[in-house]
Amino acid sequence: MFNKVLIANRGEIALRVIRACKELGIRTVAVFSEPDRESVHVAMADEAFCVGPAAATHSYLSIPNIISAALVSGAEAIHPGYGFLAENSNFAEICTSHKLKFIGPTPQAMDMMGNKSRARSVMSQAGVPIMPGTGDIESDEDAIAFARQAGFPVMIKATAGGGGKGMRVVHDAASLLKALGTARAEAHAAFGDDHVYLEKFLPEARHIEIQVLADEHGNVLHLGERDCSVQRRNQKLIEEAPSGVVDEPLRAAMAEAALRGARAAGYTSAGTIEFLLDQRDNSFYFLEMNTRIQVEHPVTEMVTGIDLVKAQIRVAAGEPLGIGQEDIRLKGHAVECRINAEDAERGFAPSTGRIEHLHLPGGPGVRMDTHIGPGYKVLPFYDSLLGKVICHGADREEALARMNRALEEFRAEGVLTTAPFLRTIINNAFFRKNKIHTTFVENLSATPALAAIH
């Protein structure tokens, strides 16, 4: 096991990794930008190094600064968390060249899955169902030809994308070319790569993802599924485990497809294979593989009892998983709500400022993963995520009752948050009946309660 790990991140995920390291008896090294000097993850770590000014490009994305901090501190490994450098294969290779273990998959697996067009090809060859789509679009004529052949609507996706960037749903030929230009520009700004491809779009599909865990000894397991269908602008708001629409035969089929895909990628560490589920006939299609810990990993932890971050660290240290597929049991139901500093009534515009008063929820079955406290400054430089409320119950009804209570208890005065909006969703009749899909939030005409707050 490692003696010292550097966490190349900030916020709640940095604190989450520090806690896992402490339980494993590992000393921790935090990095921080100048405005984050007083952050909780800095105070909780055994050591901390400033890696630059506020702009992430000069701090949390500065590979030379982070590698220097690791070497000076004597860290043996780096955990990237999610976001920032978590899926940067170049960073992983540089870690290796400096004899630092990257806590995650190999650079080769990251490259294979990071290019969405290549990932589709790998999965198809492994027998994983893929959505009808294209390779990288080379011309407007190719895009129009595919859209007419597949039928509208279609989705434009950034080849190097993630987090909803460079994605557009197009419903007719007249808007396709304009949307292609917009998606390419957004993809280039977000990823430095303007390549895009097209897929057939299912308007009322479920977004189902399978959590996989693999070690360096050839063992690959799945930990069931998460339902991440409640989204806005292709970014997840609420996640559940297990899904209320996935029965045992479907779970087995999706899990087996995910395991085939993970093996085909030569994958190690924790990873997530995402699918779209067509609720009309239970057919499912590969979307992408996330080669990192997910924001929504706690719901899987709550229903399986397995600490995914500790598992990542153990795998990186060369340990076998130590469990078999028969040891994985799903117990109860878990729900996660992401609370962001945003104004839901103004199109989820970011809200910045100082949190003057804070009350966090608690009680039976309630977990709050957050890095904020009274006096915390919400800055405009980083993601607006303030924390995640995770509730577990014997069944979905109990988990949602606890979530409703937890969101009501949450107070953060000084900034606007999405907590009231999330509570409205939780209490929506369609949501309670599990009548949700990926366009649920956008389709406000079918959800009058949401329309009132939107």
DSSP single-letter state for residue 327: G
């497809």: which residue's tokens? Answer: 257
Q: How far apart are CA 175 and CA 35, in angstroms?
A: 42
Asked if domains 132-200 and 206-453 share a fold, the reply is no
**What is the predicted pLDDT for the residue at 444?**
56
Angle at 23 between CA 303 and CA 365, to 5 degrees: 30
DSSP string, 2-19: -SEEEE---HHHHHHHHH
Contact 79, 86 (CB under 8 A): no
Predicted confidence (pLDDT) at residue 454 exceeds the cutoff of 50: no
- Dig out the tokens for 3 from the structure: 């003696």
Angle at 213 between CA 211 and CA 217, to 5 degrees: 160
Residue 182: count of CB within 10 angstroms of its CB: 14
Predicted confidence (pLDDT) at residue 293 exceeds the cutoff of 90: yes
Contact 79, 85 (CB under 8 A): no
């007719």: which residue's tokens? Answer: 172
pLDDT (average), residues 435-449: 73
367-385 core/surface letters (b: 16 or more CB in 10 A; e: else): bbbbbbeeebebeeebbbb
Contact 154, 171 (CB under 8 A): no
- The DSSP H or E segment spanning 121 is helix 116-125
Which of 154, 216, 161 lies closest to 184 in space, CA to CA? Answer: 161
- Dig out the tokens for 125 from the structure: 């060859």
Q: How far apart are CA 311 and CA 100, in angstroms?
A: 18
**What is the predicted pLDDT for the residue at 164?**
74
DSSP single-letter state for residue 130: B
Strand-pair partners of 225: 210
**Percentage of residues in the chain with pLDDT exceeding 70?**
97
pLDDT confidence tier of residue 270, bands split at 50, 70 and 90: very high
Average pLDDT, the chain: 94
Q: How far apart are CA 231 and CA 220, in angstroms?
A: 29
Structural fold of domain 4-103 = Rossmann fold (3.40.50)
pLDDT in tens, 345-398: 898 999 999 999 999 999 999 999 999 999 999 999 999 999 999 999 999 999
pLDDT in tens, 47-62: 999 999 999 999 999 9
Which long-range contacts link 114-122 to residues 24+ away (Cβ below 8 Å)? 114/87, 114/89, 114/160, 114/291, 115/159, 115/160, 116/157, 116/158, 116/159, 116/160, 116/161, 116/197, 116/288, 117/159, 117/195, 117/197, 119/286, 119/288, 119/289, 120/286, 122/261, 122/264, 122/265
Catalytic residue positions, numbered = 292
**What is the predicted pLDDT for the residue at 204?**
86
Predicted confidence (pLDDT) at residue 99 exceeds the cutoff of 90: yes
Residues belonging to the chain: 454
Count Cα neighbours of 431 within 13 Å in the Cβ-side half-sphere. 30
Q: How far apart are CA 132 and CA 198, in angstroms?
A: 9
pLDDT (average), residues 102-107: 98
**What is the predicted pLDDT for the residue at 163?**
66
- The two beta strands, 235-241 and 269-278, are unpaired
CATH class in words for 206-453:
alpha beta
**What is the predicted pLDDT for the residue at 190?**
79
pTM given for the model:
0.91
Let me know if domain 132-200 sits in CATH 2.60.120.10: no
Domain boundaries, the chain: 4-103, 132-200, 206-453
Predicted confidence (pLDDT) at residue 417 exceeds the cutoff of 90: yes
DSSP single-letter state for residue 439: T
Q: Which of 185-189, 266-270, 320-324, 368-372 has the lowest mean pLDDT?
A: 185-189
User: Cα separations (Å) of 159 from 137, 153, 201, 258, 412?
Assistant: 10, 19, 16, 20, 38
**What is the predicted pLDDT for the residue at 165?**
81
pLDDT confidence tier of residue 234, bands split at 50, 70 and 90: confident
